[in-house]
Amino acid sequence: MGKTAMLLLVEGAEEMEAVITIDVLRRAGVAVTVAGVDGDATVKCSRGVFIKPDLSLKDALKSAPYDAVIMPGGLGGADNLAKSQQVGAVLKEQAAGGRLVAAICAAPIALAAHGIYCGRAATSYPNDDIKAKLSGYSYREDRVVVDGPLVTSRGPGTAFEFGLALVKELLGPEAAQKTGDPLLLLSA
């Protein structure tokens, strides 16, 4: 049985972070479900791009648990994730099982809002307000931070690295290498 991931999509999500992460994981063979937190209607993302979820979150949860739950950033999207009791319940269930939780850009504020993997190392978009909300974490400035079952990253420019880190955690370093090489990514 292959690995599974659920990406939580809300209004205001950063579209590059969502699409690049979905794409990288699917290239590696991870079955990714794009779950619309507010239903299965098309979601308007942070830059006006519209993305259609695969399923509503309610319907996606019928296939839970997932090996990874992923949250793209975007400040509006991150705020919506942080405010959602349903997202909080999903994240708490994921963490209770010791399974992978991943957040990029501003989305780590949803981790803090719901008390997920507090005390672990994390990063986020380099904004003082966002950093302040992550005071319960060991904050790092790295482009991607992996601390056990928690994976965080900085923003749109790190989305490929974030996706490949998730591939590595789910499928191993060889799968990450095999997935990453054809992408022709430049070294930072």
Residues near 121 by Cβ (< 8 Å), separated by ≥ 6? 137, 138, 139, 140, 145, 147, 150
User: Residue 105 catalytic?
Assistant: yes
Burial of 71 per CB tally in 10 Å (0-12, 13-18, 19+)? buried
Burial of 127 per CB tally in 10 Å (0-12, 13-18, 19+)? middle
For helices 159-171 and 173-180, angle between their N-to-C axes, nearest 10 degrees: 140
C-beta separation of 5 from 69 below 8 A:
yes
- The CA distance from 56 to 64, in Å, is 13
Task: Write down the catalytic residue from 8, 91, 105, 112.
Answer: 105
The residues annotated as belonging to the active site are: 105
